[in-house]
Chains A and B, each alone.
Chain A
């Protein structure tokens, strides 16, 4: 009986989806749309917007504020699927993702999905400046003069030695999905360091917190904006300054990360048919302080994303009023 049921469901599926074959972007709901089109038009006149959630809190803060406004001001339904950066781009193609609210560079993905596949496009800057860099806990700056200059790193490399890095200093790295020039930098700047793969954001944050509290030396990869800066004092190590094109060849990079204009990426479909929701996403722009405030509420004050967004929205009416499409 079960087998008959299975066969029945299969035939049904085949019949519903028609005989042209199923495309990657097909969904069971859209396949059934002709028969139930009235359900696709919610009373609010909005629709569903899918904002991918990439795995860092600053991102979540931006996404939640935009989601809150889409829901409360424009009457949309918002889904927040949690997807890593690269997979989220694939979501543009399949229709699982409409918006990436904070994109860190990714020129290769832009080329593939915006220029070649044409399934996505940028929707302008978020106003946030993203900086990746090497950081140390603040107390080290006071104790070891000149440590924030990369030229002195070799002198202090012994401090960073751990049982993981052997006879070299440890440079702690995070999630493998992050943008990284670490290996090239160490090689090209002839630093006596070794990248130790922490494997996650949690590994970096816990490392930084213990480094501050237990006064343990630590050199690690990190980025701003991040809520951790409001909790733990960190200092950035100055690598040779960024100049245009110095990171063109990933193997020959010998300069700091560029300050990145974080931008929003939307699917082409959403850009053309997203209506007011798209306009709101396009208009959305705020500062690092704004984002850190929301992210801090979410992380350290135990608020849900929605509550933190609500708090910010209620306190900053003037800012978001400008984003709402007329």
Chain B
């Protein structure tokens, strides 16, 4: 039945909504008829899970005998640990004045006194927030992970940029690394690298290396072919061309790669702490188990500040002109600033003066308690409304419909929206999920993702349009978006828990906060990208602002908006696991269980893979829609 809906292109000229509408009716009828048949209920002890758990046990038992461990993995661990400890020792040995000085020096080199001042003030705020020690640990962890990511990622990126074949091979791997929920590979990390900093660094690298490779490859590809040709015709060897032409020309984009790697690494700080890596994450986890936002907020703010400082510093370095170079004078000034700091380290007390520390725990907790008490009736009603009206019905349909009907529906929709290849990929992903034994939980997760993405888009469009219209609004909104994206979500989970209870809605709330910023940015950029001449033409033709938006700006920004949908989905999926800690359940909960109960290892790992499969499915459908000409413009044949 589904095949007919998909496969027969109408010969007669039908209104363009006819085919989708007919398909929708067909699926509705199919659902009513076959409801409850061919569902795939969840089983905690599915064969795939048991097999994976057994594999884990085997590795665990043979860790001390297997040569792979004895001569390879354990050395990697020792090497990472050594590197981390070196960073940690050096950074702590600098003392707080020394580190401030060094940061000032680096800032001066990267972007002059403004950046230097930002660096010093930002790092000083770690002390003021009372989290100096943990901030330095986090810095050491991030530094280790970023250094290793770049050492591996930059050369690989250069290679990928030169070889399209390698690019095709590596792209799905990078996709996988970015969508795979970090929680899902924490358990394997612990298995291979034990608990502690090395496993934390390794997990961070997995998450942080894809942008290093991707952006470097892009930078190398973008180098103008004329420059390369000119260099080759002058008789330069391939290595000379690479080092004297390609790399210098790609320099500023490659700095962006470093920037993104640092940002990604910072977002792993809290997660890495779950496997006993040291740093700011420990305050956040501690706050979570003590119901204390006052403990979490300083650590969360420190992470935001660290992200802002490192971001602005690397971006400033990227903006510098390639040939400005490092003059001796500049180096001398930077060294001078650093030396002053290090010198002061001997004169000043080694611990950050506690008189300067801000005690914010009490008032913050008071404010949170007040909000929890006062807002509860409103938030509770909002939650009930969304859950009963949107979540439960959708959840019911997806979990009681036969699996083949859903698969057919996805196939049809993907074909309509994106074309043949994405449709087949989507179908493959769904079948793999069914084979993994995670169908029911995947459908529940899909429901949450669907609702979260819808809400994210609604808010994102609204804010994006507002920002595109008013530069002032945009300027006010920007730092808030930055904070929403870098603030570890755990910090706002506690108040959310009190306001909404442990429910799927809470999980959706968390993912919306996380996913809105990139959507707003993309929408704003898309709208701003509409050529002013077009806008003027529409206005002079008498369009109202509303018409202008609906008929001109939004359609012309379609590409950006579709990309925003795509990003919204990826970001929402990234929050599925975290959402499970506040009542989200489904796949996310399976992943958390797999991490904390060794008998559930297999289920957790499989659930991680299922999340990736869902991600690839949704990504291909939206990206396909992006590349394809607007379906509304396609004429029925």
Contact = CB atoms under 8 A, between A and B. Distances in A.
Interface of A: 2-3, 6, 9-10, 13-14, 17, 20-24, 26-29, 31, 55-57, 60, 81-87, 90-91, 94, 96, 108, 162-164, 166, 172, 175-177, 196-207, 209-210, 213-214, 298-299, 302
Given A199-B580, A206-B501, A24 B82 contact: no
Contacts of A96: 194-196, 276
B583 interface: yes
Nearest to A85: B596
Nearest to B396: A166
Contact of B275 (A3, A85, A87): A87
A91 B624 CA distance: 47
A285 B553 CA distance: 71
A83 B195 contact: yes
A167 B512 CA distance: 28
A205 B288 CA distance: 10
B82 A28 contact: yes
Nearest to A203: B502
A102 B410 CA distance: 50
A298 B290 contact: yes
B528 interface: no
A20 B275 CA distance: 28
B633 to A, nearest CB: 42
Contact of A163 (B63, B365, B392): B392
Nearest to B577: A199
B320 interface: no
A302 B582 contact: no
Given A13-B78, A200-B581, A56 B289 contact: yes
A5 to B, nearest CB: 9
Contacts of A6: 151
A55 B285 CA distance: 8
A101 B581 CA distance: 25
Given A163-B383, A199-B589, A202-B494, A81 B276 contact: yes
Interface string B131-174: 00000000000000000000100010000000000000000000
Contacts of A2: 151
Contacts of A20: 70
For B78, B282, B290, B596, which residue has the most chain A Cβ atoms within 10 angstroms?
A: B290
Contacts of A302: 292, 294, 361-362, 365
Interface in B566-582: 580-582
Given A28-B81, A87-B195, A302-B361, A202 B583 contact: no
Nearest to A22: B74
Closest 7 CB pairs of A and B: A21-B70, A177-B596, A22-B74, A203-B502, A198-B502, A176-B593, A163-B387
Contacts, number: 190
11 contacts: A9-B79, A26-B78, A57-B290, A86-B598, A162-B503, A176-B592, A197-B589, A199-B589, A202-B289, A203-B582, A206-B291
Given A176-B596, A203-B581, A299-B290, A196 B75 contact: no
Contacts of B372: 210
Contacts of B600: 176
Contacts of B292: 299, 302
B535 interface: no
Contact of A214 (B285, B365, B376): B376
B226 interface: no
Contact of A90 (B78, B195, B494): B195
Contacts of A87: 190, 195, 275-276, 596
A199 B592 contact: yes
B451 to A, nearest CB: 13
Given A3-B151, A85-B596, 11 more contacts: A17-B78, A87-B190, A87-B195, A164-B503, A176-B593, A199-B581, A202-B581, A203-B582, A206-B291, A210-B372, A299-B292
Contacts of A84: 274, 595-596
Contacts of B588: 199
Contacts of B388: 163
Nearest to B80: A28
B71 A206 contact: no
B387 A209 contact: no
A24 B582 contact: no
B60 to A, nearest CB: 8
A163 B588 CA distance: 19
Interface string B51-68: 000000000000110010
B493 interface: yes
Contacts of B392: 163, 166
A6 B149 CA distance: 13
Contacts of B365: 302
A210 B503 CA distance: 14
